[in-house]
Structure 1
Amino acid sequence: MTDISSHAFDQAVLSCRQCPRLSGFLQTVKNQHPDYHARPVIAFGAAMPKLLIVGLAPGMHGANRTGRPFTGDFAGILLYQTLHRFGFATRNDSISADDGLRLMGCRITNAVKCLPPENKPIPQEIKQCNQYLSVEINQFMKGGGIAVLALGTVAHQAVLMSLQLKAKDYPFAHGAVHAVPSSSGNGLRLYDSYHCSRYNTQTKRLTAEMFAQVFVQIITDIKL
């Protein structure tokens, strides 16, 4: 799959049914909400970005509904406000897949492409879906990308898995920056942040300023 075209790759993701629990759950959701996307969600953003953001999985009434990562639900509010603030997005909110929003120098994907029950993918599903994340990160590095931002522990570990690195050697911590081996020779860096979920933002585990500081570090390092 490493030499697949961008269009063919997206179609492979959209048609994936390799995890029975997830595909069955998506069908149930589709039956309940016929107008929802309710399929695997493909990445969104610039074709050759400097920054790749990796989330956990589509949200029930967000990406699973709209078909675009972090679009149409609470989790996307802080993310797109911050992307706009730092010049990565043309607007500060993401409402629908046809709202005209564009990302510049940035791309967003998820560790798991399908909506999981209770927002909790099981380890086998994360491992199965890692074949797609591996392709995305490999293409990202080939295109000159140098910064990967993992939103939460699951995304952090999925990125390491895709690079065939051990999680114990790169522990997750909000604000942490890890220099990781890169086949591109560009000096890939993995940045960690708490996930911008409703729970984390409402409990102040993640504040807007905490999130902004991660982006300050990223744009400083990639010299934007």
Structure 2
Amino acid sequence: MRSIESLNKKITRCKKCPRLAAYIRDVAKNKVRRFRDQNYYGKPLSGFGDVNAELLIVGLAPAAHGGNRTGRMFTGDSSGDWVAKVMHKNGFASIPTSQTKDDGLVLNNAYITAAVRCAPPQNKPSKEEMKQCFGFLEQERNILKNIKIVLCLGRIAYDAACKLYGIKPEKFGHNKLFKYDNIMILTSYHPSKQNTQTGRLTWAQWSAVFAKAKKIIK
């Protein structure tokens, strides 16, 4: 891929995974009540951010009624609120909220992507679906020339990053930093409601990860 724009167009058109393609279309058609008056995006999502970024953030996949609705990763749901707020606090985002694709959010020295580009049922993509999406992550890595640190949100994102850089996965945990010859990998629990509302991931723990990433880069 010559540019991030051409890659993103390719991602948007992808229909390699029949189960996921059908699911995101169904979610977009049969909307939840709170968003019944909105038009869902209902397509695979590309990454977004600063193409000269040193920080790459890898999530699991778009949320069915978040990114799959709004057309941008970590946008329009509680996970997106946590991501935008902490990135703004640490100078990686222009505003502390992420509500719509055209809300003015601009990322600085950071790029956000995911291991899987379509919202999967129950947030559980199959191994084959993850394999089908992996090529997009490889192409992003080849375009984003300045990445120094990869922040992985959750175990699936961590496994994808290790595969991306040919690294043997180590024991996953929150706020762990792994240093290699060509890249650093930082891990965090995913800011899903399952983690944030149960106390598994507190705001202090979440904030500490981004503070660490900022300190490493600067």
Q: Normalised by the shorter chain, which TM-score bucket?
A: over 0.9
| Counterpart Cα distance in 2 of 1:152 and 1:96 | 24
Distance 1:21 1:156, change over 3 A: same
**Contact between 2:153 and 2:190, CA under 8 Å: does it hold in 1?**
yes
| Counterpart Cα distance in 1 of 2:12 and 2:130 | 16
Question: Which structure 2 residues correspond to residues 1-224 of structure 1 after superposition, within 5 A?
Answer: 3-33=1-31, 35-140=39-144, 142=145, 144-167=146-169, 170-182=170-182, 188-223=183-218
> SS in structure 1 opposite 2:151?
strand
| Counterpart Cα distance in 2 of 1:105 and 1:126 | 27
> SS in structure 1 opposite 2:104?
coil
**Contact between 2:28 and 2:69, CA under 8 Å: does it hold in 1?**
no
Q: What one-letter code is carried by the residue in structure 2 that aligns with 1:114?
A: C
How far did residue 181 of structure 1 move?
4.1
Deviations 1:143-190 (A, max 9, x none): x220110000000001111223222xx3211111111343xxxxx110
**Contact between 2:4 and 2:140, CA under 8 Å: does it hold in 1?**
no
> SS in structure 1 opposite 2:178?
strand
| Counterpart Cα distance in 2 of 1:213 and 1:31 | 39
| Counterpart Cα distance in 1 of 2:208 and 2:3 | 35
Aligned length: 212
| Counterpart Cα distance in 2 of 1:162 and 1:127 | 11
| Counterpart Cα distance in 1 of 2:165 and 2:139 | 10
Q: What one-letter code is carried by the residue in structure 1 that aligns with 2:28?
A: K
> SS in structure 2 opposite 1:12?
helix
Q: What is the CA RMSD across the aligned residues, in angstroms? A: 1.3
| Counterpart Cα distance in 2 of 1:7 and 1:138 | 13
| Counterpart Cα distance in 2 of 1:110 and 1:19 | 16
> SS in structure 2 opposite 1:54?
strand
Deviation >4 Å, runs of 4+ = none
| Counterpart Cα distance in 2 of 1:220 and 1:30 | 40
> SS in structure 2 opposite 1:213?
helix
**Contact between 1:57 and 1:116, CA under 8 Å: does it hold in 2?**
yes
**Contact between 1:130 and 1:161, CA under 8 Å: does it hold in 2?**
no
Q: What TM-score, normalized by structure 1, do the two folds share? A: 0.90
Q: What TM-score, normalized by structure 2, do the two folds share? A: 0.93
How far did residue 24 of structure 1 move?
1.5
Moved more, 170-179 or 29-38: 29-38
Segments of 5+ residues of structure 2 without an aligned counterpart are 32-37
